[in-house]
Amino acid sequence: MAEAHHKNGEQVSENWDTVFNALSAEPRRQLIVSLLDAGPDRSVPLPESAVMPNVPPDPETFRHELHHVHLPKLADEGFVTWETEPFVASRGSEFEQVAVVFEALHKEATDIPNSLVFGCQRLEQERQNSIGL
């Protein structure tokens, strides 16, 4: 009995590691949020649905990274499915495993430290001060 309990605990830990690894890059987080906003049976256009607002990446590099890094990582775990023509993504069979993280964060939004929500405001203010705005 103790062995089964231990193995179950290891599996749960591995599952969480997989979810947090998948969510460890901003384009992947942004895509999951876009899919949450789109609804269960809808696809979202790429690359724009994986771009963080107000932080435009180099378009060619970003498309390459999506195609060869971010989308395969999410698809390998069943979190998303994607196609190249048209370049779109949809919820995968295991989407709820990553969606629940964002749903939980949304419920607790008022308790999230400002540095995780507004951390860049200080940097932007410093940049504006340095150029005399």
Q: What is the pLDDT of residues 92-132, one digit of tens each?
A: 999 999 999 888 877 766 766 776 666 554 544 554 555 55
Q: CA–CA separation, 117 vs 81, rounded Å?
A: 29
As its CATH architecture, domain 2-130 has Orthogonal Bundle (1.10)
H or E element, residue 98: helix 95-107
Domains of the chain by residue range: 2-130
44: which 2 tokens?
A: 């979202």
pLDDT for the residue 114:
72
The neighbouring-strand residues paired with 91 are 80
CA 89 – CA 103 distance, rounded (Å): 20
Q: Is 23:101 a contact under the CB 8 Å cutoff?
A: yes
Residue 62, classed as helix, strand or coil, is helix
Predicted structure pTM score: 0.77
